[in-house]
Amino acid sequence: MRLAKVVLREIPQNLKMLTFMNLVSAIATTALLGLVAAASQEADKVDARLVLMYAVTITLFCVSHNAILVTASRDAERLIHTFRMRVFDAVRRADLVTVERIGRAALHGVLIQDTQILARVLPILAVGAQQAVMLVFLAYYLAYLSPLACVLAFAFAGLAVSIRYRRTRSFKEMLAESGQAEADVFDGLTDLTQGFKEARMSRRRADALVGAVGAASSRARRVNVETKTQWVRNFSLIEAMFYALIGLMVFVVPLVSAEYYKVVVPVTTAALFIVGPISTVSFVTPMVSMAERALSNIEDMERRLAEAAGRWAVTADAPVPAGRAPIEERPADGVATLPAPRSIALAEAGFAYRNDDGTPSFAVGPLTAEFRGGEVTFITGGNGSGKSTMLRLLTGLMPLDHGTLLVNGAPVPAAALQDYRDQISAIFSDYHLSRRLYGVASPDPARVQGLLTRLEMQDKVAVADGAFTTVRLSTGQRKRLALVLAQLEDKPVIVLDEWAADQDPHFRAVFYEQLLPELKAQGKVVICVTHDERWFDLADRVYQMSEGRLRLVHPLPLEPGPAEPTEAQA
């Protein structure tokens, strides 16, 4: 059972203590029953010793019950924290295509919904386990009083529980359907909040969007109501059956057992005591499948992300092109030593986006291009020609299907990919600007002020306590802050995907005529995707992308000239 394995593997520390507390609470409950039976024999006087023992037993029960609940809740939260951190870590290690394919809704489902299910269910399961142990003790006690009553009571309880289970066969499917419907609602919410402007601008679009979210929400409501109704019906049925069980003990058993009248009071009391635990255990057992499902979702997500990372590691270790020495891997920790890039390149690189059935939907390559330090390279080409895809491959965000990524002419091994990415500042067209300057530890205030002034943002924004004072800015202004951040990172490679497209004509000229030459003068590898032909002559190289293929258009590759006359000819 997945749940048991996970508990043993992830939170083994308190299992002994929980088992001990379970035994204490079960013994305390059985002792309570014994004390009630003993007191009922002496109903004409109050025995102080029995009262004291009763008080001690109740205290033991309360202490052990509390300890079980508190420990189980704490362990459940620890488990959830572990899972969340593992999934976060797996996300940051995965490649972009996998994360995009999995989607925000599925990740949200796992990180929020499934972990919450575990947080709710695990402490209840601990109580279920406690009640199950208690049932074993109560069964012994009942069997000691009257074997016949014990057999009848448990047979009847078994019947009640099995009727209940037969009625909850479809519980799992209902949960799955409800989870899918909730994910669809979340998708719709994302479309509504992120596409708010578009929805607000068109009644038909907004109607269709809200209609789709409404349909998903209504599906979720129907399934959730069905699930809860079934739960309530089952609960009532089982309650009624347990009252019938008490009737069985009082009216039917005396008919078949002559000596029964001597133990009728303790047996009936014991039967009353087993009603609660049986009800709890039968209520809790379906929750095992809920927890198993949540766990399986979390583990599947981890596996999908890890598999993608694994595939990537393999493809990144593509064969070394002839004549190029690979970057060395340090054997001790397996991390490659990556030299500071003076040039980065793609050699015969290829990649295809794939449909769900695995067929390629769009392919780039073979791509061969080199980008050098102290040079500005422009990449141009029509919409959808593959420029951003090429940048994603060049920056190590997506695995190559074939070909090689090179630094200073040597292939980058899988173990060095993060090192490689750490050398690149990239501002993609869908750049996300955070208010906090993550990863830039205590920047020099004078330098920050200088950069803000250089980017003409000094009157709008400042940096305080490691964060921009605001990011509520225009698209062009946010891109300028992204460039401030990139300059603060001061990495040897800078990649800008249509950065200038959002700038006004004045600042566009500043960008091409001043900022790019400054970056070039600092010796950086500067790569810009751009459509601004007016400034093409400022670039050292211009590549043209067309239908996934890359062609050098400036400087034009030299045509092979007439052959030099040989010595003999001379």
Contacting residues toward ligand ATP, per CB under 6 A:
100, 353, 361-362, 381, 383-389
Give bridge partners of residue 360 from the DSSP assignment: 354
Nearer to ligand ATP, 369 or 448 (CB): 369
Nearer to ligand ATP, 361 or 569 (CB): 361
Nearer to ligand ATP, 398 or 414 (CB): 398
Q: Which of 238, 250, 244 has the alpha carbon at shortest distance from 276?
A: 238
If you search the block for the tokens 């039967």, which residue do you land on?
Answer: 271
Q: Which of 289, 309, 400 has the alpha carbon at shortest distance from 102?
A: 309
Residue 371: strand, helix, or coil = strand
User: Rounded CA gap, 542 and 551, in Å?
Assistant: 9
Nearer to ligand ATP, 231 or 353 (CB): 353
Q: What's the closest the beta carbon of residue 346 comes to ligand ATP, in angstroms?
A: 14
User: Rounded CA gap, 390 and 544, in Å?
Assistant: 12
Altogether, the residues listed in the chain come to a count of 570
Q: What's the closest the beta carbon of residue 431 comes to ligand ATP, in angstroms?
A: 13
Q: What's the closest the beta carbon of residue 525 comes to ligand ATP, in angstroms?
A: 20
If you search the block for the tokens 């566009």, which residue do you land on?
Answer: 508
Nearer to ligand ATP, 362 or 438 (CB): 362
If you search the block for the tokens 């002496």, which residue do you land on?
Answer: 42
Give bridge partners of residue 381 from the DSSP assignment: 545
CA end-to-end span of the chain: 86
Q: What's the closest the beta carbon of residue 320 comes to ligand ATP, in angstroms?
A: 27
Q: What's the closest the beta carbon of residue 391 comes to ligand ATP, in angstroms?
A: 8
Q: What's the closest the beta carbon of residue 383 comes to ligand ATP, in angstroms?
A: 3
Q: Which of 90, 128, 15 has the alpha carbon at shortest distance from 298?
A: 90
Nearer to ligand ATP, 387 or 479 (CB): 387
Nearer to ligand ATP, 98 or 279 (CB): 98
**Local structure of residue 415 (DSSP, 8 states):** G
Q: What's the closest the beta carbon of residue 379 comes to ligand ATP, in angstroms?
A: 9
Nearer to ligand ATP, 353 or 536 (CB): 353
| Residues in CB range of 469: below 8 A, 6 or more apart | 461, 462, 463
Q: What's the closest the beta carbon of residue 555 comes to ligand ATP, in angstroms?
A: 23
With contact defined as beta carbons under 8 Å apart, do 6 and 13 qualify?
no
Q: Which of 260, 259, 249 has the alpha carbon at shortest distance from 155?
A: 249
Cis amide bond preceding 565, omega within 30: no
